[in-house]
């Protein structure tokens, strides 16, 4: 019995065609998942646009109605007015401290200013921590979407490649058997 290279060639070509088709299907699915991730990222950008518009709307409202706000907005407007007053008081103290030529600044004023600066720094630290937390919350869905896409692509590729791997293993076994048979026949001759 001779080794049938034509049958082997035909089987390898069939497997190659199957692998090509499966690769195409995997590529299509990968593109779909990548497009879904892009859309999710676009949605996050649009949500940021909305958030910025809300902030701008709030600024405009305060400028126009801050001194006489509707009941629903009174607490927020009051907080802004109080913060503006504190800033004005601090600026007045700063101006007073900077404009003095004599080093006889009272200790009490310095201690008050130091306490106000400490308080302002603590508020700034809290604001930065809040901003970092908010940024982490906004980034989490993007990270999750990317991880989901990567997992889906890995899964799609693994599912598509499994039959090809099995078919190649079968062909390798068949070829190994035929080579062994051919060697055995040659040894018997």
- The separation between CA 153 and the C-alpha centre of its own chain, rounded to angstroms, equals 17
Looking at residue 125, its pLDDT comes to: 66
Which one has a higher pLDDT value, 186 or 106? 186
Query: Rounded distance, CA 101 to CA 79, Å?
Result: 36
User: Given this model, what pLDDT does residue 33 score?
Assistant: 83
The number of beta carbons lying within 10 Å of the beta carbon of residue 2 is 8
User: What per-residue confidence (pLDDT) applies to 14?
Assistant: 80
Write out pLDDT tens, residues 130-183. 766 776 677 667 667 667 766 766 676 666 666 766 776 777 677 767 777 777
pLDDT at 1 over 60: no
Predicted pLDDT at 52: 93
Contact (Cβ atoms closer than 8 angstroms) between residue 8 and residue 175 = yes
On the question of pLDDT at 104 being above 60, the answer is no
Cβ neighbours around 156 below 10 Å, total: 19
Residues in the chain: 189
Q: What is the pLDDT of residues 54-82, one digit of tens each?
A: 999 999 998 999 889 999 999 998 999 99
Radius of gyration of the chain (CA): 36
Instruction: Specify which of 24-33, 101-110, 155-164 reaches the highest per-range mean pLDDT.
Output: 24-33
Encoded tokens for 32: 């779909």
Buried b (16+ CB within 10 A) or exposed e, 53-65: eeeeeeeeebeee
**In the predicted structure, residue 105 carries a pLDDT above the cut 60:** no
Closest CA to 167 of 20, 27, 28: 20
Spell out the domain ranges in the chain: 5-188
8 pLDDT exceeds 80?
A: no
CA atoms within 13 A on the CB side of 82: 6
pTM confidence score: 0.41
Which run of H or E residues covers position 126? helix 107-188
């Amino acid at each position: 019995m001779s080794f049938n290279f034509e049958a082997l060639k035909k089987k390898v070509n069939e497997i190659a065609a199957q692998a090509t088709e499966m690769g195409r299907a995997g590529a299509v699915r990968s593109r779909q998942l990548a497009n879904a991730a892009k859309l999710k990222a676009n949605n996050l950008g649009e949500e940021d646009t909305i958030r910025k518009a809300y902030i701008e709307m709030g600024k405009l409202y305060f400028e126009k109605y801050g001194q006489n706000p509707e009941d629903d907005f009174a607490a927020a407007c009051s907080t802004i007015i109080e913060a503006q007053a504190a800033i004005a008081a601090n600026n007045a103290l700063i101006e007073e401290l900077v404009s003095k030529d004599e080093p006889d600044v009272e200790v009490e004023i310095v201690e008050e200013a130091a306490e106000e600066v400490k308080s302002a720094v603590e508020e700034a630290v809290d604001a930065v921590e809040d901003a970092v937390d908010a940024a982490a919350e906004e980034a989490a869905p993007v990270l999750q979407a990317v991880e989901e896409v990567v997992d889906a692509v890995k899964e799609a590729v693994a599912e598509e490649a499994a039959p090809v791997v099995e078919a190649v293993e079968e062909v390798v076994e068949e070829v190994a058997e035929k080579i062994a048979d051919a060697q055995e026949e040659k040894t018997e001759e």
